[in-house]
Amino acid sequence: MTNKYSESLDSKFKETTNLGLEVVKEASEDRLMKLSVGPQHPGSGHFRFTIKVDGDYIVYCDPDPGYVHRGEEKMCEYRNYIQNIPHLERPVIHDSTNITYSYSLAVEELLGIEVPRRGQFIRAIASELNRQVYTLYWLAIYGIFLGHSTMFMWPTGDRELFIDLLAALTGARVTHAFNIPGGVRNDIPEGFKEKCLEYIKYFEKRLKEYEDIFYNNPLFRQRTENVGILPKQDAIDLGVTGSVLRASGIPHDVRKVEPYDVYNEIDFKVQYMKTCDSFARAYVPFLDMRESCNITRQLLEKMPESGEVRVKLQSNPKGRIGEAYKRVESGRGALSYYIVSDGSSKPYRVKISVGSFRNILALPHLLVGSRLGDMPSIYWALNYWPVEADR
Amino acid sequence: MTDINNDINQTTSNLNIVEPDLKIEHSLYSQLSSEFKDKVRLVYTKPNRIKISVEPEHIIEVAFFLKNQLGLDHAESVGGTDYPDENVIEVIYHLNSYSREELAPIILALSTKTDRNSSYLPSLLPVFKSVEYHERETYEMLGVYFQGHPRNERFLLPEDWADIPPLKKEFRIKGR
Amino acid sequence: MLMIKDLINPANFNLLVSQVSDVLVGALDQPLGYAINWGRIWSLWPVHLETACCSVEFGATSSPRYDCERFGIIEAFGSLRQCDLIVVQGTVTRKMAPRLRMVYDQMADPKYVIAMGACSITGGLYIDSYNVLPGIDGIIPVDVYVPGCPPRPETLIQGCMLLQEKIKRSKIK
């Protein structure tokens, strides 16, 4: 256990012994206390990590996920390609369009079909709206983590607007099962475009207020700025993704680097920051929300007025022998599916690689050496959703 | 059934299929093959995807080459597939690059195979830090022991898990 | 007196009499018990234990639109020694089950349990998964079942109101 803090203690002991006093030095292990955080704690539950603290400093951290491990990958092998959709969206029910998006893309590659153009646009619109729903929920929990209860109430209230839009589009509040291999389940309802534009206009006004009350709040800035620095090279080595990666100064967004469906026709910027701290990790999703409003508006403008929204499939489609690896940008970063097909109607193997599982590798890296009081702001800024990481 | 198939054929025939440009993928493989000759075997190239297969004893040197010379600096996902008929478990590392912009859309799948009954593979943790939890997960889900990995132990499954690894094909879930 | 006379009409007479008699019977039968139960109803503190994805809708229940605080259910709380309600939010896996029981055992009496979502009632969508318990009845006693996958916030509020009704009618120990 050699960190800066214990080294400074050692030098202090040396000073006192020089005075001629007899000082009994305790062993370094005696100073350590082991704490178990979770699975029941005031923030977001279903995740536990053990830490060891030396005074106020965290010197050891060991994540222990798996409290919501439901065996999705094994269940996939027993259901056919269409039946798999409802249970695959459960890991992130507030980002369910994105988690079924890459699954649909991978299955489409195996089935060898192409989604009609209007279907691609509707998919992208639903995906952008769902990104807002996810990020607002994440922001609300971040507010409650830091004791800022206004920041719980505002985002959860505004989130309902987007939930209303998605409910009008798909018929369910959070579990949409909207993306299916071959397109989307149904066309957009009447008056959706006007309603959507109106909500986005209102929401952009609200975003300014969020910035004033939360991001420019001196208390919030003190708790997050220069806390939990993840340098650029470390972010690359640890393979983090999404907002955590972009906060470390790497403009990597799957929508930009490998555009899927209609994203190559949309003009948008990848939002990133170079300060690498918790504030940047909290601010990048906010910038993403603003950019997402812009993307939704463009998608609504460019969408063809009429046309098919899905390809007709056989009742029990069979995939070609082979494998597919597809990824999309979800609220938490790259979300990819690796599907192996043996020619039958059920996948032979499905591997889900999620952003949360990749980002949690940075948690011990960031917590070791930081203070105990900084734990909430570091942990939740990693954009981590435990249910998704466990699958 | 027949008219549905016709529909599918029509929609696919309407597409203007452009021959994909696989320049980067082929250049990646040609660099690999000039370095390692027949140790590296190409499985397929698709747009933005390339899969190579190596023997377990060469995987570390190939991985070092991929990281240091080609700039594929992190693993997006590590997964294993169980093939009881061939008596092998295939472990795949999906590698991607953040530092080289032109390689960002490319996913290189580095696959290797191990025996099903005594599954041992060298760990790629010395090369890629990002595979740490992925390899732990593969260990408990498929029983592949990664030599050199400091913690081949439980991660997602309960502490008292006493059954065979769940993603092996002989593990049947209840009622199925 | 004039006001009460105005309020009573043949249409609501039976309802009013039954409510008044409820109050009177309760108050006269066990005056102290009635008062204690009445107090418990309006200060249900749920434990902040999230077991799975239903926690998203649990969060939405205390959002401004649904605002469950107006029914006397206060927002989820960190310290379980001060809590008397546990809302099991979804799937309980084999790893979570001992922890759930541990949390339940540490709570002070009286304590109530709401099973939220299909997974915590029967296992739901994950009935055939190798790591999921088919319902939480085997671990802790359940007072109210709230079905749905996930339940809408209105359904959860209704479940809480049913629990309040149950507390009102229960005997105190």
Please report, for chain B, the start and end positions of each structural domain, with discontinuous segments joined by +.
20-147
Six-digit token pair at B70? 């080609």
Pairwise CB contact (< 8 Å): C130 & B171? yes
Pairwise CB contact (< 8 Å): A69 & B4? no
Pairwise CB contact (< 8 Å): A67 & C128? no
For residue C97, give the H/E element and its range.
helix C97-106
Residue of C nearest to A77 (CA): C129
pLDDT band, residue B5 (cuts 50/70/90) = very low
- Which residues in chain A come in under a pLDDT of 70? 1-26, 28, 42-45
**A29 — phi, psi (to 5°)?**
-70, -30
Nearest by CB to B173, which of A78, A112, A114? A78
Q: Where are the beta strands (DSSP E) in C55-102?
A: 85-89
Residue B4 above 60 pLDDT?
no
Q: Compute the distance between CA of residue A142 and CA of residue A140 in angstroms, rounded to an integer.
A: 5
Q: Compute the distance between CA of residue B169 and CA of residue A78 in angstroms, rounded to an integer.
A: 11
Six-digit token pair at A6? 């214990």
Count CB-CB contacts under 10 A for residue A12: 11
What are the b/e assignments for A115-151, b being 16+ CB within 10 Å?
bbebbbbbbbbbbbbbbbbbbbbbbbbbbbbbebeeb
Asked if the C40-169 domain carries CATH number 2.60.40.10, the reply is no
Residues 6+ apart with CB under 8 A from A213: A150, A151, A154
Contacts of B171 in chain C (CB under 8 A): 130
**A99 — phi, psi (to 5°)?**
-75, -25
Instruction: Please report the pLDDT score of residue A202 as a whole number.
Output: 92
Residues β-bridged to residue A327: A336
Structural domains of chain A, with CATH: 72-355 (1.10.645.10)
Residue of C nearest to B173 (CA): C130
Which chains have 3 or more CB–CB distances shorter than 8 Å to chain B?
Answer: A, C
Instruction: Please report the pLDDT score of residue C76 as a whole number.
Output: 67
Nearest by CB to C128, which of B157, B160, B173? B173
* Contact predicate B66/B42, CB 8 Å: no
> Residue range B58-84: average pLDDT?
87
Residue C116 above 80 pLDDT?
yes
Hey, of A78, A118, A323, A342, which one would you mutate to test binding to chain B, going by the most B CBs within 10 A of its CB? A323
Residue B6 above 60 pLDDT?
no
Asked if the B20-147 domain carries CATH number 3.30.460.80, the reply is yes
Hey, of B110, B156, B160, which one would you mutate to test binding to chain A, going by the most A CBs within 10 A of its CB? B156
Whole-structure pTM value: 0.84
| C56 has a chain A CB within 8 A of its CB | yes
- Chain B interface residues facing chain C, Cβ-Cβ under 8 Å? 157-160, 163, 166, 171, 173-176
Residue B2 above 50 pLDDT?
no
Six-digit token pair at C110? 């009286």
- Which candidate, A3, A11, A17, A47, places its Cα nearest to that of A359? A47
Count CB-CB contacts under 10 A for residue A35: 12
The amino acid occupying position C129 is S
Pairwise CB contact (< 8 Å): B157 & A312? no
